[in-house]
Amino acid sequence: MNDLIDKLDARGVASLTDEELVAVVIDDKPVAHALMQEYSSLASLAHEERARLRMVGGMGRHRARRLQAAIELGRRAAASECIPAEVITSSDDIVRLMRPALEGLKYEECWAIYLTASNRIIEQQRISQGGVQGTVVDHKLVVKRALELLATRLILIHNHPSGAAKPSEADRLLTKRLKEAAQLFDIRLLDHLIIAREGDFSFKRDGLL
């Protein structure tokens, strides 16, 4: 391990390979090598459950905890850096904001972002949390919160743990109901975004809003 520490000190942490970074975090080069042989990328490693991680190459419970803590730290750091300006200019701003928080989840979460008429963010709110197959969203509560905030625009975002961003029939129905309910109060649903490992889907970009 001393050679990796010397490399880190002399050339900076960015000079380390993926395997070397894992080795520094868990303090074990052979186990890090076994992990990277088992998983094709850091992304696949990051999405693995601790119970399975600890079984690879003598990883053990302690090293698995350390690795997952480091991964979560990186995820939160990325999320904090991706917070856009107060004014949203495109759906890509929302994807950059929400992907770090949603992409790696094993269950579905749905969020609403409430905006002013000039697309200035008023509030981000998690509105539901469900299972692997879906989550229940009450469109009436989403609109109710918009009225409380005096928001005139809103964006809905949820993730697909399956990895595919294609909308389901339930997603389409929710979008239709939310749009119609919001319109009753002159509130505009700007977009409904689905975030997944394989990409993202925008109802607006696809001409469905």
In a domain, 39, yes or no: yes
Q: What is the pLDDT of residue 154?
A: 96
Give the side-chain half-sphere CA count within 13 A for 145. 19
112: domain CATH number is: 3.40.140.10
Q: Is the pLDDT of residue 114 over 90?
A: yes
Number of domains composing the chain = 2
Which DSSP helix (H) or strand (E) runs through 188? strand 188-196
Same domain flag for 95 and 195 = yes
57 and 93 assigned to the same domain: no
Residue 56 lies in a domain: yes
Mean pLDDT, range 170-195, rounded to an integer: 95
- Tell me which residue of 154, 166, 142 sits closest to 113, measured CA to CA: 154
Q: How far apart are CA 204 and CA 33, in angstroms?
A: 44
Task: Write down the pTM of the prediction.
Answer: 0.62
Residue 63 shares a structural domain with residue 48: yes
pLDDT of residue 82: 52
How far apart CA 93 and CA 77 sit, in angstroms, is 17
pLDDT of residue 167: 93
Domain span at 44: 2-80
What is the predicted pLDDT for the residue at 115?
A: 95
Residues 184 and 160 in one domain: yes
